[in-house]
């Protein structure tokens, strides 16, 4: 079909572009023309390969040759050697760091093993509104297997053996949870799917429900069989209309196929699912609050015990799992616990979906085996920091996670490591910060979120988060004292120690995880009234450089508050007391004589 015999793919991602990959394209085209091959070889600019550390990247098809760190001047040798003579350019090939062996075919590169899609296996692959496509991808086979070949006990055993831990944030072993609910005898039990995804920037649950709703439906039925429940409830935020629509559709077609309802697959097992809508309160992701909300009460948590497994929805044993957790269940049953537990680290098995956001090139949803390092996620998969800036920190675990820094980059990601580093897995949000981000401001941003989302039940969270954000505001406005920094630490520790639920207990993490590492930055705000990252508007100062100012008066004319004075053709001065830091002079000056500090 194609008239081209070969394709040259040149990475056009932000990282590679900044290392002059456009020049590579031009050069290759130029040499092709010189060799009269412009009609045989097509040169294309692609999206990011996600391997920015080794960029710019050039890939040759159809032989899958993967060249790294290509310079514009390498275009000649690529054309002359590879494209003309068919000989690979050894020195540009990617070398595995451990073996130092050159890899010729990119399919054999470790890099492509970094992402592994288990929970997202069908997302972006099947039509979520078509149950047939799900069935074609082994859908409902796991449910069939459980119902016909396994007892509830062996299902629970398999899930326990797999080592699957809750993906919603807590990381509690899923099998154990199921076992508790299984052991509590009652006339009615419930399976609840927590789809109240609330972390800003995290959207894996929504993506799963939108891309593969049947995996959740199937898993809930399996869970129902395991714990002895015939009723499932999905608690989903009303702000997810598409997910709701797809889920509704999935439930409907599963019912039509008899995969939900009475006597599923002729086994006598009944199970059906109802959707409950939440109003999007962050705290309703906490399971007791979620249950109160489903019952029509105020969405606020209660002390555990009693756990939902003993007394949950309407006081009945209830098992609550998150969407991503459920999405793993069918695969575990089909491929076996041993397969699943072979992925990941000692105590965290399987994969985890992360939502990459912030100052990172490849913003998006990724899924990696547990144990992948932050460096791999941020620099290999995420494509590194935007605009070639310096990495400063990554916030994991959503608004109540902690900030991890350079020194933590090689930590394998799993539940326990993140916790030990003062952060957490959370639901898998990852927000990357660069050198322009001011850490006290970052902490303030997150505290404002938890302050808003606190249900207001317990004192440490209701009043404590408010006080934390007040103190942080003071600091970012340059009005903080050294005593405030001390209070920040003590208060954070107390909130962590005394708050009623996970929201409050983790709310101070953004402070606790930055105040030690970035102590100097905090102190600079307090003692020098200076924001080293230049982000705190209240602390910014505009100054006119004497040696550059020619006295054109443009700045003094544009200043809305008359803060700039100076005679024509002589150096102007900004009155700092009058300056409102609007930046108009900075934008106006043609001589770069005005600096912002």
Closest CB to another protein among residues 452, 587: 452
Interaction between residue 373 and another protein (CB under 8 A) = no
40, 256, 520, 587: which one binds another protein (CB under 8 A)? 256
Q: Closest distance between another protein and the C-beta of residue 131, in Å? A: 9
Which residue matches tokens 């909300």? 293
By CB under 8 A, tell whether 266 contacts another protein: yes
Alpha-carbon distance of 225 to 189, in angstroms, equals 11
Please pick, from the candidates 172, 180, 257, 277, the single residue that binds another protein as defined by CB under 8 A.
Answer: 257
Q: Are 561 and 552 in contact (CB under 8 A)?
A: no
Q: How far is CA 155 from CA 145, 232, 266, 463, 471, in A?
A: 10, 18, 19, 45, 51
Least CB distance from residue 342 to another protein, whole Å? 12
- Site membership for another protein, residue 268 (CB under 8 A): no
CB of 526 closer than 8 Å to CB of 519: no
**Between β-strands 269-278 and 391-396, what pairing exists: parallel, antiparallel or unpaired?**
unpaired
* Residue 300 near another protein by CB under 8 A: yes
**Cβ-based nearer residue to another protein, 233 or 259:** 259
Which one, 343 or 533, has the nearer CB to another protein? Answer: 343
How far apart are the C-alpha atoms of 161 and 521, rounded to whole Å? 46
The single residue among 15, 55, 139, 398 that binds another protein, judged by CB under 8 A, is 139
Q: How far apart are CA 360 and CA 542, in angstroms?
A: 29
Between the alpha carbon of residue 281 and those of residues 174, 421, 501, the distances in Å are 24, 28, 14
**Which of 97, 296, 305, 560 forms a contact with another protein (CB under 8 A)?**
305
Of the candidate residues 3, 185, 407, 590, the single one contacting another protein (CB under 8 A): 3
Using CB under 8 A as the binding rule, whether residue 460 contacts another protein is answered as yes
Query: Given candidates 90, 129, 153, 346, which one binds another protein under the rule CB under 8 A?
Result: 129
User: Rounded to the nearest whole angstrom, what is the least distance from the CB of residue 38 to another protein in the complex?
Assistant: 14
Ranges within 386-425 binding another protein (CB under 8 A): none
DSSP string, 331-352: HHHHH-HHHHHTSB-SSSBSEE
Cβ atoms of 469 and 478 within 8 Å: the answer is no
DSSP symbols for 429-444: EEEEEETT--HHHHHH
Which x/- pattern over 560-589 shows residues binding another protein (rule: CB under 8 A)? ------------------------------
Contact 182, 227 (CB under 8 A): yes
By CB under 8 A, residue 338 contacts another protein:
no
- What is the nearest approach in angstroms of another protein to the Cβ of residue 494? 4
Give me the 174-193 binding string for another protein, x by CB under 8 A, dash otherwise: --------------------
Verify binding: residue 52, another protein, rule CB under 8 A: no
Rg (CA), the chain: 28
Q: Which of these, 233, 289, 265, lies nearest to 458 by C-alpha position?
A: 289
Tokens of 291: 């249950």
Considering only the stretches 32-40, 68-76, 143-151, 190-198, report the one whose residues sit in contact with another protein under the rule CB under 8 A. Answer: 143-151
* One residue of 40, 44, 90, 565 binding another protein per CB under 8 A: 44
| Residues of span 228-247 touching another protein by CB under 8 A | 240, 242-243
Distance CA 186, CA 566 (A): 84
**Residue 557 binds to another protein (criterion: CB under 8 A):** no
Q: Residue 365 interacts with another protein (CB under 8 A)?
A: yes
């Amino acid at each position: 079909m194609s008239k081209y015999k070969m394709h040259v793919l040149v990475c056009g991602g932000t990282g590679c572009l900044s290392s002059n990959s456009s020049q590579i394209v031009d050069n290759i085209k130029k040499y092709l023309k010189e060799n009269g091959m412009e009609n045989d070889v097509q040169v294309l600019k692609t999206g990011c390969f996600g391997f920015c550390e080794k960029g710019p990247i050039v890939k040759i098809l159809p032989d899958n040759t993967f060249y790294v760190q290509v310079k514009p001047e390498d275009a000649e040798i690529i054309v002359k050697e590879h494209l003309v003579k068919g000989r690979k350019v050894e020195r540009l090939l990617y070398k595995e760091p451990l073996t130092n062996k050159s890899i010729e075919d990119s399919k054999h590169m470790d890099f492509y093993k970094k992402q592994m899609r288990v929970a997202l296996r069908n997302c972006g692959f099947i039509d979520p509104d078509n149950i047939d496509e799900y069935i074609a991808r082994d859908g409902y086979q796991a449910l069939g297997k459980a119902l016909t070949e396994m007892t509830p006990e062996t299902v629970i055993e398999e899930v326990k053996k797999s080592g699957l831990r809750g993906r919603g944030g807590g990381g509690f072993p899923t099998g154990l949870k199921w076992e508790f609910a299984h052991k509590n005898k009652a006339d009615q039990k419930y399976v609840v799917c927590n789809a109240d995804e609330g972390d800003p920037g995290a959207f894996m649950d929504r993506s799963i429900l939108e891309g593969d709703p049947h995996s959740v439906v199937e898993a809930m039925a399996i869970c129902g069989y395991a714990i002895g429940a015939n009723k499932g409830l999905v608690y989903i935020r009303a702000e997810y209309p598409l997910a709701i629509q797809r889920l509704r559709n999935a439930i409907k077609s599963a019912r039509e196929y008899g995969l939900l309802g009475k006597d599923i697959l002729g086994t006598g097992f009944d199970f059906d699912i109802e959707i409950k809508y939440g109003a999007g309160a962050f705290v309703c992701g906490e399971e007791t609050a979620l249950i109160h909300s489903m019952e029509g009460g105020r969405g606020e948590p209660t002390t555990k015990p009693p756990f939902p497994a003993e007394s949950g929805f309407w006081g009945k044993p209830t098992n609550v799992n998150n969407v991503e957790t459920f999405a793993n269940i069918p695969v575990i049953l089909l491929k076996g616990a041993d397969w699943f537990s072979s992925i990941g680290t000692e105590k965290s098995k399987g994969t985890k979906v992360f939502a990459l956001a912030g100052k990172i090139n490849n913003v998006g949803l990724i899924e990696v085996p547990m144990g992948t390092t932050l460096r791999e996620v941020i620099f290999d998969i995420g494509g590194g920091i935007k605009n070639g800036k310096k990495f400063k920190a990554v916030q994991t675990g959503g608004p109540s996670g902690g900030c991890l820094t350079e020194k933590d980059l090689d930590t394998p990601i799993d539940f326990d490591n993140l916790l030990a580093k003062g952060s957490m897995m959370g639901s898998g949000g990852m927000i990357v910060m660069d050198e322009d981000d001011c850490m006290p401001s970052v902490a303030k941003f997150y505290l404002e979120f938890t302050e808003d989302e606190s249900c207001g039940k317990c004192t440490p969270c209701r009043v404590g988060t408010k006080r934390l954000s007040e103190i942080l505001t003071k600091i970012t406005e340059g009005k903080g004292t050294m005593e405030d920094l001390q209070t920040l630490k003590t208060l954070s520790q107390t909130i962590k120690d005394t708050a009623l639920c996970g929201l409050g207990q983790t709310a101070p993490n953004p402070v606790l995880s930055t105040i030690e590492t970035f102590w100097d930055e905090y102190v600079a705000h307090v003692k020098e009234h200076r924001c080293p990252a230049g982000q705190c508007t209240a602390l910014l100062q505009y100054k006119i450089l004497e040696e550059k100012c020619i006295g054109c008066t443009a700045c003094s004319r544009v200043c809305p508050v008359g803060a700039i004075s100076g005679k024509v053709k002589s150096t102007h001065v900004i009155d700092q007391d009058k300056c409102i830091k609007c930046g108009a002079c900075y934008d106006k000056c043609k001589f770069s004589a005005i600096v912002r500090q």
